[in-house]
A and B are shown apart, each in its own frame.
Chain A
Amino acid sequence: MIRLRMKLALFNLLSKLVFTILFLMFLPYLIERISLLQVDNELIQKREQVITLISKVGIEPFITSDSGNVFGSYNILKEEFISLERIDLKEDANYIEVSQRLIEGENITYRVLNYSFKVDGNTYLLAVGKSLNSILHTQKNIKIVMLLFLVFIILITFLTDLQYTRLLLRPLDIITNKLKGISNPSIFDKTPVRTTTSDFHHLDDALTELMRHIDQLFQNEKEITVNISHELLTPISVLRSKLENLLIRRDIGSDISTKIEESLKTLHRLQSLVNSLLLIARIESRQYLREESFSVTEVLHEIITEIIPIAEDAGIIIKEEVEKDFLITRANRSLIFSMFYNIVNNAVKNTPSHGEVLVKTTLHENNYIVTVTDTGKGMTEAQMSNLFSRFKTKVGNNIDSIGIGLAIAKSIADFHGIEILVNSVIMKSTSFSFRFPENS
């Protein structure tokens, strides 16, 4: 990808080059035309002078019968010449041509004006010539100077264009930077960009307004979730206390106790649901702090230690492989704990007896990766595609699972910038990989 200002500068450069090349192609022709026109004018002037002179003094000073009817004169450097000749011409001559003349053994290219006139019944041909050698030489010099000048100009304008467009597009750069890596509208920098370009001003205004709007919507949504959750928790709390007080009474039979316990269980499910939604809303609205530093390996070890009794009971082995211990900074330990706890716990649940769960920590290209692999039933593509959506997941056949655990794990991962990759081979294994960001 090329930056806009570079594109503009390159386009300018290219268009200048095209024009320059065209100009250079026509330049020799132009210079020739101009210089020949100049020479022709001079020749005509000279002719007029000669004619005026002849009409004053007559033809005799130039041509006598002794001189063989021919008069010729040239200056020392043979740049110009004049010749006068008595000839017989059927038609009048008045034209300009380029011709080679041999003067004193030197072949020189001249621009020659031929003009015929009559004096005393005789026809004379006047030829006024001017050497083109010097003109050709000048032309060459002009071309070189022109070329150098143009190259210089192109270079200078390219650099100034680049600089100017950079200056001109700086507001756009600022706006682009504001949008770069933005994960949440609330962190969008809402200070207006200083610019005199109305387009950028409008763009910035529109974006800021949009971000403010989205932010507000997000905020509202989260507030609604949080408020509804709070409102729900109070009645749950009341019901729960009432049922608990009933359950500890000694004057109730076991059939009633069982029913109360079932009600408590259902209520607990509702409570879990509300708490989970609240948790996700809180994580997403960044109500949790990220200011702890701790060893992820230690957290994993703690989780495994807690789950081992259950795994052993189910005849499952949990293996722990640590390539390298690593410390995570700016994180929330209890959230990270919950995330891995949920994943490891899930893995154990989905593994049949005599199976194995492997928790592995590796370092791959500066990223720490934690992989949890089970030897369970695996998942189909369809199951994997909405694995992290709320309520859509029923991992394994645990009908009591409310299917929100993975959604929570995902939001915790997102909160910490951790990438989750899932791999599954049906009837064989499933693995969850957590790739930690480089600087963590």
Chain B
Amino acid sequence: MTIDTGRSDNLADLLRTNTAALTARWVEVAAATLRGRLTTAELERELAELYNALLAGVDSGSRDVAAEPYAELRALLTDMSRRRARTGFSPSETAVTVYALKQAVFELIDNDAVEGGLREVVAFSRLLDAFGLQTFESYAKAREEVIDEQAEQLLELTTPVVKLWDGVLAVPLVGTLDSARTQVVMEKLLEALVTTGAAHAIIDITGVLAVDTQVAQHLLKTVMAARLMGAECTISGIRPHIAQTIVALGIEFGDITTKSSLADALRHALRRSGVEFTAAERRR
């Protein structure tokens, strides 16, 4: 008995003989859900490729999505979801593109009343479901990659070392201080101390939402490292609620100079380097 393979061929035959009609209908159904964000020509090209890969797979008689004959189709789908993820499509929109073929095929089966259709339809439906799910997975993976990239960029972006005055550097910290970021901050600050020959560094934590023991430990280590390089380090931007929390937590900053604002810290640094402030005398 070769019922199974016979029926498989049935499906393959159906797909092959109706290639033009099915791809046209597929493009039509898929285009409706994409609301014109892809041109019809683009979609046609994309889906024709997928269709040929699917046909090649079905032709082999296999209905197992993980099987070798479907490798090309899997690769194409992964590519497609990646492209879509990067251009801002939602995962459902991507999956619906795949499921649209179901509608096209079912309509055809309805019209033609293909013999022994039910088993065929179930197998085909299961196949497409699996491929739809795969687009979801690739989509999520592509999005994760985007997020990782952005996190890395943020790490670089949010830690500028700025020169406030001759010999005075400042690092304004914003957001969350974790180990990775502190490492970047420390490296950048120490490098800048060497290249500029600055004797003062100000770490401003106005933009840090909460100072817990880990953040404090990171700050202390950075200050110690700067000191070892002969620079004086001030921590500024300690707001009232942060100060109270630090005290309650029991963190001691020891002999490290701290200031409530960046302006105070700058004035302190300038005074230490011998710059005097005098109100300009008004001359008549």
Q: Do chains A and B stick together as partners? A: no
Chain B residues within 8 Å of A, Cβ to Cβ: none
Chain A residues within 8 Å of B, Cβ to Cβ: none
